[in-house]
Amino acid sequence: MSEKLENGLAAMRGEIDGKVRSFFSSCVHCGICAESCLFYTETRDPRYTPIYKTEPLRKLWKSEYTFWGKLASRLGISKPMTDADLADWEELVYDGCSMCGRCSMVCPVGVDIAMIIFKVKHGLAMAGFSPEGLVGATQRAVDIGSPMGITLKTVQAMIKHVEEDTGLEIPMDVEGAEYLALLSSNEIALYPEYLESLAKIFAHSGVSWTLSSDAFEATNSGLQIGNKAIAGQLVERVVAGAKKLKVKTVISPECGHAYTALRWEGPNFIGRAYSFKVVHILELLDELRAQGRLKTTGKETARMTFHDPCSIVRRGGVEAQPRNLLAPMAENFVEMRDHGSMNWCCGGGGGVSSNERAEGLKLTAFNRKKSQLDEIEVETVVTACSNCRMVMEDGVEANEMDVELVGLTEMIAGHLADGRAD
């Protein structure tokens, strides 16, 4: 057995807990999960059936936790797992799964398939079977601090531009601020309007906030690639930054996986609870709205819908907030047929969009979103995840669709009532 394989199997073995045992003991291989997965529905390739993607872990569980598996191993008649087995699953898990978790919503015996797929991903990452693009991004995150190689200088340059454009000061390293805002790589490189929007909204609402020169990056490549140690290392940077500035709350940006990494999995990656709160930007904005500290004016007349980012809504529980925020601004709002916790993924979550090899498959998977949008004939799609936005912009362009993509925070900033709300 190669050292790589041993590392991978050891990592997966460490993931077999009571939950995993109950899941594998309950699965009757009905295949219902296939119909919930856009990689299956858009390709009709049975290999993309969600539960099939968990096969390496199921095989390990079977050989080490079941009577027949143990007996077969003892008699030497079972087929041991090989490097080739793991290599075969690399494409399925990294290219053909966006970790959207829709499969976990429909399993009749309640198997959280997305959770198991992440455990397989962890094993693959530990065995060194990960796509080149993600490996590079993860390395840059560790070495430089950002998967896109963004440095503090880049952020400072962006801040300068935003300050010039808005006439507002972007607070940096302000000790004792109430909120520490983080940015995703996409928001720094592609959508600087996010930071501009934050500055406008927080000035309007009188929020005490800051950026941190030590912890500005929210993107967690460790989560995307499935390497828990690196994920923990990246979370620790945020924890240290928050501690240094003594903030009460850290704001996760409009980025789905960053929210998962920080809000839900972060404390588990580092093995302890935080001394601060984590909120998604939409949670905070909705709270400000409810307190009367966020007032908007004017209406968007375009026919529009909201794309629910999977990690924020289905796997994060932030479903009502975007609708509460949109309601006063969207005059012609229409929901997609499947929305909220059963919405379809954009096709680029879970690191798929950072994986160049998966580009073609990602665009094929986008056909599901295209069908959803074609059905309701909208002019504008609002979302709250920079990755979803980027993936959908690619899809819209590739399919020559006449649809505009807008970030929700940006839309709110464009509708702020004059003066301070408080």
Query: What is the token pair recorded at 102?
Result: 């829709």
Query: How far apart are the C-alpha atoms of 316 and 259, rounded to whole Å?
Result: 8
Residue 369 binds to another protein (criterion: CB under 8 A): no
341, 364, 371, 399: which one binds another protein (CB under 8 A): 341
Least Cβ distance, residue 109 to another protein (angstroms)? 4
Residue 367 binds to another protein (criterion: CB under 8 A): no
Query: How far apart are the C-alpha atoms of 226 and 345, rounded to whole Å?
Result: 19
| Count of helices and strands (H, E) across the chain | 21, 8
Residue 349 binds to another protein (criterion: CB under 8 A): no
Residue 175 binds to another protein (criterion: CB under 8 A): no
Q: Which stretch binds another protein (CB under 8 A): 63-71, 142-150, 170-178, 206-214?
A: 63-71
- Compose the 92-131 pattern: x for residues touching another protein by CB under 8 A, - for all others: ------------xxxxxxxxx--x----------------
Query: What is the token pair recorded at 89?
Result: 């699953």
Size of site (CB under 8 A) for another protein: 58
Residue 170 binds to another protein (criterion: CB under 8 A): no
316, 322, 347, 395: which one binds another protein (CB under 8 A): 316
User: Which is nearest to 190 in space by CA: 412, 414, 388, 402?
Assistant: 388
What is the DSSP secondary-structure string of 343-373?
PPP-S-TTTGGG-GGGHHHHHHHHHHHHHHH
Least Cβ distance, residue 41 to another protein (angstroms)? 8
Query: How far apart are the C-alpha atoms of 233 and 223, rounded to whole Å?
Result: 11
Q: Which residue has the tokens 């993924």?
A: 345
Restricting to residues 11-50, name those near another protein by CB under 8 A: 17-19, 21-23, 25-32, 34-36, 40, 46-47, 49
Least Cβ distance, residue 212 to another protein (angstroms)? 21
Phi-psi region of 2 (alpha: psi -120 to 50; beta: other; left: phi over 0): beta
Least Cβ distance, residue 226 to another protein (angstroms)? 16
Query: How far apart are the C-alpha atoms of 146 and 10, rounded to whole Å?
Result: 29
Least Cβ distance, residue 36 to another protein (angstroms)? 6
Query: What is the token pair recorded at 258?
Result: 């960053």
Residue 228 binds to another protein (criterion: CB under 8 A): no
DSSP bridge partners of 296: 416
Q: Which stretch binds another protein (CB under 8 A): 125-133, 200-208, 261-269, 301-309?
A: 261-269
Residue 91 binds to another protein (criterion: CB under 8 A): no
What is the DSSP secondary-structure string of 269-305?
HHTS--SSEEEEHHHHHHHHHHTT---B---EEEEEE
Using an 8 Å Cβ cutoff, are 99 and 114 in contact? Answer: yes
Nearer to another protein, 153 or 272 (CB): 272
Using an 8 Å Cβ cutoff, are 126 and 7 in contact? Answer: yes
Least Cβ distance, residue 27 to another protein (angstroms)? 7
Query: How far apart are the C-alpha atoms of 162 and 164, rounded to whole Å?
Result: 5
Residue 268 binds to another protein (criterion: CB under 8 A): yes
Least Cβ distance, residue 318 to another protein (angstroms)? 8
Residue 364 binds to another protein (criterion: CB under 8 A): no
Nearer to another protein, 52 or 202 (CB): 52
- Give the interface with another protein as residue ranges (CB under 8 A): 17-19, 21-23, 25-32, 34-36, 40, 46-47, 49, 51-52, 65-68, 104-112, 115, 263-268, 270-274, 277, 314-317, 319, 337-338, 341-342
